[in-house]
Amino acid sequence: MSIEEKLKELGITLPDYSKTGYPGTNYGSMKAYHRVGNVLFLSGHIPWKDGGPVFTGILGRDVTIEQGYEAARLTGIHCLAGIKQAIGNLDNIVCIVRSLNFVVCTPEFTEVNKVSSGATDLFVEVLGREKGLGGRATIGVTSLSSGVCFENWLTVEVKGEYIPDEPGS
């Protein structure tokens, strides 16, 4: 089964960055991704829906672990859209290499790992354990752009010919 078929089976529709553009450029000068050989580095992705950020607030104060998990899951969907923008065909994903996650939380909140599992679980669900489960670190922070509670940086091994003048590279 292709990754696109798996997404359809799961009822997941990816945003089309070829039409909407990568939302991160709303926050300053950056490109959506950078590819070095077969390694793809995605810029930060956040929970974004209907043209704006969602899941704002602080874990341990006004956002629950369940809401944080959903924020991470939605962010993971945006990461898959970013990968598709970069390489075209999601079946060219070899594996998730590493995921660096940021969770806005109170100093006392120590369950940041449960929040970032929303993205990790999504990647495993869509790509399978072999491709979808990579290394991961999660860091509690005091704030992120637009007040969202979660952000993800992703490194992905991909196959296929590298074309250095790809948009966003």
pLDDT at residue 56 tops 80: yes
What are the structure tokens assigned to 158, written together?
């991909």
| Residue carrying structure tokens 């969907």 | 77
Question: What are 140-158's pLDDT values in tens digits?
Answer: 999 999 999 999 999 999 9
Other CB atoms closer than 10 Å to residue 161's CB: what's the count? 6
pLDDT at residue 164 tops 50: yes
Q: Where are the beta strands (DSSP E) in 29-133?
A: 33-36, 39-45, 48-49, 52-53, 93-104
Amino acid 19: pLDDT: 87
Is 66 part of a structural domain of the chain?
A: yes
Amino acid 169: pLDDT: 44
Q: How many helices (H) and strands (E) does the chain have?
A: 5, 7
Give just the sign of the alpha carbon dihedral 118, 88, 127, 36. negative
Is 16 part of a structural domain of the chain?
A: no
Average pLDDT of 69-97?
97
pLDDT at residue 165 tops 70: no
Is 127 part of a structural domain of the chain?
A: yes
Is 22 part of a structural domain of the chain?
A: no
Is 114 part of a structural domain of the chain?
A: yes
Looking up residue 38, the CATH number of its domain turns out to be 3.30.1330.40
pLDDT at residue 22 tops 90: no
What are the structure tokens assigned to 142, written together?
């005091």
Is 70 part of a structural domain of the chain?
A: yes
Quote the mean pLDDT of the chain. Answer: 93
* Identity at 148, one-letter amino acid code: V
Is 85 part of a structural domain of the chain?
A: yes
Q: Which of 41, 32, 73 is nearest to 55 (CA)?
A: 73
Q: How many domains does the chain have?
A: 1
Give the range of the structural domain holding residue 126, as residue numbers without chain letter: 3-10+30-158
Average pLDDT of 40-62?
95
